[in-house]
Structure 1
Amino acid sequence: MKNLSILIMGLFLVTASSIFAAGETKSSEKISVIKLDTLESASAGNTNFSGNVFLKRMFSANNSSDISAGVVNFKAGSRTAWHTHPQGQMLIITEGKGWIQQWGEPVIEVQEGDIVWFPAGVKHWHGGTPDSDMTNIAIAPIVDGRSSDWLEKVSDEQYKK
């Protein structure tokens, strides 16, 4: 129930900010529902991730939204590469424990229920701890067709600090 509440809160915040930013909605638009259990989980691959990372894309840019969102599961020891977001990113931690780090700053441990905001252009990474999986909902605006700018991978030495 706690995970569902966190999911609903996050999606409400994203949807509300999108509506207020766009002004009035079109009266011809209809409500749509995406059932989380209908979304396919796929490996996030190894180009921008290290270890076993799985992604369920919740939605991406469409006619009425310029927001990307997904449920990301990081197995213990897995992580993103260093990256930035042109308009920032919100993570809602729904399960487990993880680590986040901004370039030049110490690692911060996060856990279920935590909400993380990465400001626009801030170089960072996130993932599971060495001994815990972490699942989060990642939400980011899409700018010029992208929500992330990927950089170099986080080395094992950087990760273990």
Structure 2
Amino acid sequence: MLAVPCMAQRNEEASAASNGIFPKGKLGPSDNFTGKAWNYGLVAADSTLTTVLGNVYFEPGARSHWHTHPAGQILVITDGSGYHQIKGQPRKTLKKGDVVTCPPDVLHWHGAGPQTGMQQLYIVPNTEKGIVKWMQAVTDEEYNNPK
């Protein structure tokens, strides 16, 4: 298992990563995602646990827009493969079993690779500080450039 701060592409059936243990969920809005990303909430924000937990399935080529989390975020890749990038740093390749920690207020994006979908659990702690701040779309040039 790889654990990297803020942060294998396999050539397999594109639908393989969509066969997770959770329902597909709700299609993410085009204001926040390029391509199709499906979100299924598992733990809603409340004042007791102050943590949001959910599952996202990114279809091949789908990705989030640039965004930040006021208290940070943890991603656990549960199937498929994809990418994660912090603004100004090289793009990282992710695969099943990888864990990504995103520090508070760090601009980043994540999503599936071009040939394979990616399934991830997301954990957003300390929701009293806020959950997410969405920014601009990740361009095709940014998505396709490993640097």
TM-score, normalization by structure 2? 0.80
User: Distance between the aligned counterparts of 1:121 and 1:62, measured in 2?
Assistant: 21
User: Distance between the aligned counterparts of 1:86 and 1:73, measured in 2?
Assistant: 23
Indicate yes or no: 2:57 matched with 1:98: no
Root-mean-square deviation (CA, aligned residues, Å) is 1.4
Pairwise mapping of residues 37-116 of structure 1 onto structure 2 (< 5 A)?
Answer: 37=22, 41-116=25-100
Task: Provide Cα deviations, 1:126-148, integer angstroms capped at 9, x if missing partner.
Answer: 0000111000001002134x311
Partner SS, residue 128 of structure 2 = coil
1:40 positional shift: 6.6
- Structure 1 residue runs of 4+, over 2 Å off? none
**Aligned partner letter, 1:150:** W
Unaligned runs of at least 5 residues, structure 1: 1-35
User: Distance between the aligned counterparts of 2:92 and 2:143, measured in 1?
Assistant: 12
Q: How many residues are aligned here?
A: 124
**Aligned partner letter, 1:117:** T
Partner SS, residue 143 of structure 1 = helix
Unaligned runs of at least 5 residues, structure 2: 1-20
User: Distance between the aligned counterparts of 1:91 and 1:47, measured in 2?
Assistant: 21
Indicate yes or no: 2:134 matched with 1:150: yes
Greater share of strand residues, 1 or 2?
2
Higher relative contact order (CA 8 A, sep 6+): 2
In terms of Rg, which structure is larger? Answer: 1
What is the percentage of aligned positions where both structures have the same residue? Answer: 34
Greater share of helix residues, 1 or 2?
1
User: Distance between the aligned counterparts of 1:100 and 1:40, measured in 2?
Assistant: 21
